[in-house]
Amino acid sequence: MRIVLVGPPGAGKGTQAALLAQTLSIPHISTGDLFRANISQGTELGRRAKEFMDAGQLVPDEVTVGMAQDRMAQPDAAQGFLLDGFPRNITQAEALDGVLRDNGQKLDAVLDLEVPEEEVVKRIAGRRICRKDSSHVYHVEYARPKAEGVCDQCGGELYQRDDDREETVRKRLSVYHSETEPIIDHYKAQGVVTTISALGSVPEVTERAMHVLGQD
């Protein structure tokens, strides 16, 4: 299957993407995770991306699109993938349309995770992620690790992302409304969008998503 997850920061895209990708046996491709991996490896791409990420802005398309295309061209993505955080604007959506067209493929589903804005700010302020694997996500109130500051899954150190500070979150939300939301209409025109509520427990949201994907 080829799936895109869309939703504001804090909707739980990363958490759901990791679970869904594992259940469906397809790679979870997160451009945010790819940027964070580049930053921790100290690459030139990571250095360029960090400046935009810390300001709550989108990393320029000429950096992002190539990186996403390279990842989608890896052998493990030949049978399908779940995109998390890409595309994030119309230019990127058109670039993805082009890749799919060239390969004679199409998207099976675009899942639009919906969450009220007050909830987003609460979720992000308490979010902590693992330094070793940023798909391991916790929350100081809603999803506490067994030992404070330590990842249950791999023992990595938990930290708060630089771009999870409140003023950066507000900027990321406004970028989401102005740049990312228009891709939902772009995909509605292709008839592949389903909006699901991202409220409730993690398993409840996963169940809604699996239902939409016809996998329950």
Catalytic residues: 13, 88, 127, 161, 172
Site string for ligand AMP, 83-122 (x = CB under 6 A): --xx-x---x------------------------------
Shortest reach from residue 118's CB to ligand AMP, in Å: 19
Site string for ligand AMP, 136-165 (x = CB under 6 A): ---------------------------x--
* Amino acid (one-letter) located at 50: K
Residue 208 engages ligand AMP in binding (rule: CB under 6 A): no
Q: How many residues does this entry show for the chain?
A: 216
Q: Report how far apart, in Å, the C-alpha atoms of 67 and of each of 62, 75, 102, 143, 205 are.
A: 9, 15, 17, 31, 29
Instruction: Spell out the residues 6+ positions from residue 66 whose beta carbon is closer than 8 angstroms to its own.
Output: none
d(CA 144, CA 150): 10
- Tell which one of 16, 31, 38, 135 touches ligand AMP (CB under 6 A): 31
Residue 7 engages ligand AMP in binding (rule: CB under 6 A): no
Q: How many residues bind ligand AMP (CB under 6 A)?
A: 16
Residue 123 engages ligand AMP in binding (rule: CB under 6 A): no
Stretch that binds ligand AMP, among 39-47, 81-89, 110-118, 200-208 (CB under 6 A): 81-89
Q: Are strands 137-139 and 28-30 parallel, antiparallel or unpaired?
A: unpaired
Q: Report how far apart, in Å, the C-alpha atoms of 140 and of each of 124, 129, 137, 199 are.
A: 10, 11, 10, 17
Shortest reach from residue 66's CB to ligand AMP, in Å: 12
d(CA 179, CA 97): 17
d(CA 192, CA 176): 20
Shortest reach from residue 60's CB to ligand AMP, in Å: 8
Can you give the binding site for ligand AMP, defined by CB under 6 A? 9, 31-32, 35, 52-53, 57-59, 64, 85-86, 88, 92, 163, 172
